[in-house]
């Protein structure tokens, strides 16, 4: 696993900073967002450091698929059967605030479209 010293989500992945973890495996983990935007708001991250989806898909596309599979598992664990959303922000204009790739899993209420 490659980590970056000053990366918040690397610290969560290694247990240095605590998080409310829902499910984890050898390569990824899912934990509740500290500032939830829906009744269920979970972040799915790889244990290894990638800045964003562009870097992830370029360097390890298989892992990208595994992260989406874990996001689906989160939706099942959280009983989001009536619908949910998987979102990933890439870069400043999209509002990415943590430079360690993460998928938001949002659900538990009706979600509007388009996003802001």
Structure-block tokens of residue 52 = 């964003």
Q: Considering beta carbons, is residue 81 or 97 the nearer one to ligand DGP?
A: 97
Q: What residues line the site for ligand DGP (CB under 6 A)?
A: 8, 19, 31-35, 43, 89, 95-98
Q: Considering beta carbons, is residue 33 or 60 the nearer one to ligand DGP?
A: 33
What gap in Å lies between CA 47 and CA 36, rounded to an integer? 22
Among candidate residues 14, 16, 63, 12, the one with its CA nearest the CA of residue 42:
12
Confirm whether 102 is a catalytic residue: yes
- Cα 33 versus chain centre, distance: 9
The nearest distance, CB 16 to ligand DGP, in angstroms, is 11
Among candidate residues 26, 9, 28, 30, the one with its CA nearest the CA of residue 100:
9
Catalytic entry in 41, 49, 100, 102: 102
Q: Length of the chain in residues, anyone?
A: 116
The residue with tokens 């050898």 is 26
The nearest distance, CB 114 to ligand DGP, in angstroms, is 17
The nearest distance, CB 26 to ligand DGP, in angstroms, is 21
Q: Considering beta carbons, is residue 57 or 81 the nearer one to ligand DGP?
A: 57
**Catalytic residue annotation:** 102
């Amino acid at each position: 696993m490659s980590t970056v010293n000053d990366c918040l989500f690397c610290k969560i992945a290694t247990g240095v900073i605590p998080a409310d973890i829902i499910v984890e495996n050898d390569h990824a983990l899912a934990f509740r967002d500290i500032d939830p935007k829906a009744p269920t708001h979970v972040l799915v991250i790889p244990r290894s450091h990638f800045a964003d989806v562009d870097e992830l898909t370029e360097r390890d596309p298989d892992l990208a698929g595994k992260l989406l599979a874990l996001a689906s598992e989160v939706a099942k664990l959280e009983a989001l059967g009536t619908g949910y959303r998987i979102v990933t922000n890439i870069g400043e204009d999209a509002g990415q605030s943590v430079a360690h790739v993460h998928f938001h899993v949002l659900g538990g209420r009706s979600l509007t479209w388009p996003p802001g």
